[in-house]
Structure 1
Amino acid sequence: MEFIEPEDQAEFMEGFELPHETRFESWLAQMRADFEAKQTGQPTGGAGQIGQTGRVQYNDLLPPIAVLPFVQHTPGEDTSPLGSLLSEELSRCLARSQAFTVTSYLASRQFDPNRIRPIEVSQVAGVNYLVSGVVHVRGQMMNADIELHDAVREKVIWSRSFQGPLSDLMAGQSAALRDATRQIGQTVVGESIRLIGFKPLAGLEGHTLLMGAISLMQDMNPASFEKAREILNVLLSRAPQHPLALTWMGFWHVLRIQKGFSNDRQLDIHLAEQLATSALSADPSFSLAHTLKGVISSHLLFHFDLAQTSYDLALKDNPNEALALLLKGTTRAYQDRPDEAVQLTDAARRLSPLGPQRYYFDAESAVANLTARNYGRAIELADRSLEANASYPTSLGTKAIALQMSGRTSEARDTVQDLLKAAPMFNMSRYHNYTPLAAGPAGEEWGHALKMAGVPD
Structure 2
Amino acid sequence: MSCQMEISMFGTCAVKIAGEGGVEVRGAKHRALIVLLATAPLGRRSRSFLQNTLWGDAGYDSGHQNLRRALSDLRKLLGDDFDRLFHTTSTDVELVLDHVRMVGDARRGVFLDDLNVHTPGFDSWRESHSSNPARILALCQDASNHTRPRPRITALPMTVLGGDAVLRTLGDWVAEEICRSLSRSSLYTVISHLSARAMATRMIDIADVRKTLDVDYMITGTMRHAKGDLVMDFDFVDTRSGAILWNRHITSPEQSFVDDLPEKLVNVVVSAGRSIADAAVAHASDRRVGEIADHQLLLAGVSLMHRSPMRDFLRSYDLLTEASARMPHSADIHAWLGKWHVLNVFKNYTTDISRDTQLALDSTRRALDLDPNSSFGLTINGFVHVNLLRDLGRGEARYNAALDINPNESLSWLLRGTLMAFQDDGGAAIRATDRARHLSPIDPFGYYYDSLSASAHLAACDYARALELADRSLMANERHLSTLRTRIAALHFTGDIEGSRKAASDMMRRFPEFRLENYQRDHPAASSATGRNVIEALKAAGVL
**TM-score, normalised with respect to structure 1:** 0.83
For residues 86 and 319 of structure 1, do their structure 2 counterparts lie closer, same or farther at Cα, with a shift above 3 Å needed? Answer: same
Match 2:224 to one of 123, 136, 147: 136
- For 2:263 and 2:276, the matched residues in 1 are separated by 20
- The letter of the residue matching 1:455 is V
What secondary structure, in the 3-state scheme, does the structure 2 residue paired with 1:132 have? strand
1:435 counterpart = 2:517: no
- The letter of the residue matching 1:432 is Q
For residues 341 and 164 of structure 1, do their structure 2 counterparts lie closer, same or farther at Cα, with a shift above 3 Å needed? Answer: farther
For residues 194 and 113 of structure 1, do their structure 2 counterparts lie closer, same or farther at Cα, with a shift above 3 Å needed? Answer: farther
1:359·1:388 contact (CA, 8 Å) conserved in 2? Answer: yes
- For 1:166 and 1:294, the matched residues in 2 are separated by 46
Match 2:337 to one of 249, 257, 268: 249
Counterpart residue number, 1:455:
543
- The letter of the residue matching 2:164 is D
Q: Deviations over 1:199-242 (max 9, x none)?
A: 34323322211111111011221111111011112112212342
Counterpart residue number, 1:389:
477
Displacement of 1:254: 1.2
Gaps of 5+ in 2: 1-97, 99-139
Counterpart residue number, 1:70:
158
For residues 182 and 106 of structure 1, do their structure 2 counterparts lie closer, same or farther at Cα, with a shift above 3 Å needed? Answer: same
Displacement of 1:163: 4.3
Counterpart residue number, 2:278:
190
Counterpart residue number, 2:206:
118
What secondary structure, in the 3-state scheme, does the structure 2 residue paired with 1:144 have? strand
Displacement of 1:313: 1.4
Q: Bigger shift: 142-151 or 436-445?
A: 436-445
What secondary structure, in the 3-state scheme, does the structure 2 residue paired with 1:224 have? helix
- For 1:207 and 1:139, the matched residues in 2 are separated by 44
- For 2:509 and 2:516, the matched residues in 1 are separated by 15
- For 1:340 and 1:140, the matched residues in 2 are separated by 43
- The letter of the residue matching 1:122 is R
Displacement of 1:355: 5.2
- The letter of the residue matching 2:494 is S
Counterpart residue number, 2:417:
329
1:302·1:439 contact (CA, 8 Å) conserved in 2? Answer: no
Match 2:301 to one of 213, 217, 241: 213
State the 4+ residue runs in structure 1 displaced beyond 3 angstroms.
Answer: 45-48, 136-143, 162-173, 353-356
- The letter of the residue matching 2:165 is T
Displacement of 1:384: 0.9
1:360 counterpart = 2:448: yes
Q: Bigger shift: 63-72 or 133-142?
A: 133-142
1:278 counterpart = 2:381: no
Match 1:295 to one of 362, 377, 383: 383
- For 2:254 and 2:349, the matched residues in 1 are separated by 48
- For 2:331 and 2:389, the matched residues in 1 are separated by 23
Gaps of 5+ in 1: 1-32, 34-44, 50-56
For residues 86 and 390 of structure 1, do their structure 2 counterparts lie closer, same or farther at Cα, with a shift above 3 Å needed? Answer: same
- For 1:366 and 1:220, the matched residues in 2 are separated by 19
- For 2:527 and 2:146, the matched residues in 1 are separated by 37
- For 1:153 and 1:92, the matched residues in 2 are separated by 25
- For 1:198 and 1:188, the matched residues in 2 are separated by 17
Counterpart residue number, 1:79:
165
For residues 163 and 248 of structure 1, do their structure 2 counterparts lie closer, same or farther at Cα, with a shift above 3 Å needed? Answer: farther
1:47·1:60 contact (CA, 8 Å) conserved in 2? Answer: no
- The letter of the residue matching 1:333 is A
- For 1:351 and 1:58, the matched residues in 2 are separated by 30
- For 1:167 and 1:209, the matched residues in 2 are separated by 44
For residues 354 and 87 of structure 1, do their structure 2 counterparts lie closer, same or farther at Cα, with a shift above 3 Å needed? Answer: closer
Counterpart residue number, 1:174:
262
1:374 counterpart = 2:467: no
What secondary structure, in the 3-state scheme, does the structure 2 residue paired with 1:447 have? helix
1:415 counterpart = 2:506: no
Match 2:436 to one of 348, 351, 357: 348
For residues 411 and 67 of structure 1, do their structure 2 counterparts lie closer, same or farther at Cα, with a shift above 3 Å needed? Answer: same
For this pair of structures, how many residues does the alignment match? 404
- For 1:137 and 1:370, the matched residues in 2 are separated by 46
1:86·1:169 contact (CA, 8 Å) conserved in 2? Answer: no
Match 1:161 to one of 245, 249, 253: 249
- The letter of the residue matching 1:364 is L
- For 1:278 and 1:166, the matched residues in 2 are separated by 51
Structure showing greater Rg = 2
2:181·2:442 contact (CA, 8 Å) conserved in 1? Answer: no
For residues 178 and 424 of structure 1, do their structure 2 counterparts lie closer, same or farther at Cα, with a shift above 3 Å needed? Answer: same
Displacement of 1:169: 6.2
Q: Deviations over 1:307-339 (max 9, x none)?
A: 111111111222221111100011111112111
- For 1:286 and 1:46, the matched residues in 2 are separated by 23
Counterpart residue number, 2:401:
313
Counterpart residue number, 1:106:
194
Counterpart residue number, 1:23:
none
- For 1:168 and 1:276, the matched residues in 2 are separated by 46
Identity of aligned residues (%): 31
Displacement of 1:47: 7.5
1:94·1:100 contact (CA, 8 Å) conserved in 2? Answer: yes
- For 2:525 and 2:247, the matched residues in 1 are separated by 42
1:99·1:353 contact (CA, 8 Å) conserved in 2? Answer: no
**TM-score, normalised with respect to structure 2:** 0.70
- The letter of the residue matching 1:428 is L
Q: Bigger shift: 85-94 or 380-389?
A: 85-94
What secondary structure, in the 3-state scheme, does the structure 2 residue paired with 1:61 have? coil
What secondary structure, in the 3-state scheme, does the structure 1 residue paired with 2:204 have? coil
Counterpart residue number, 1:54:
none
- For 2:319 and 2:467, the matched residues in 1 are separated by 34
- For 2:488 and 2:253, the matched residues in 1 are separated by 39
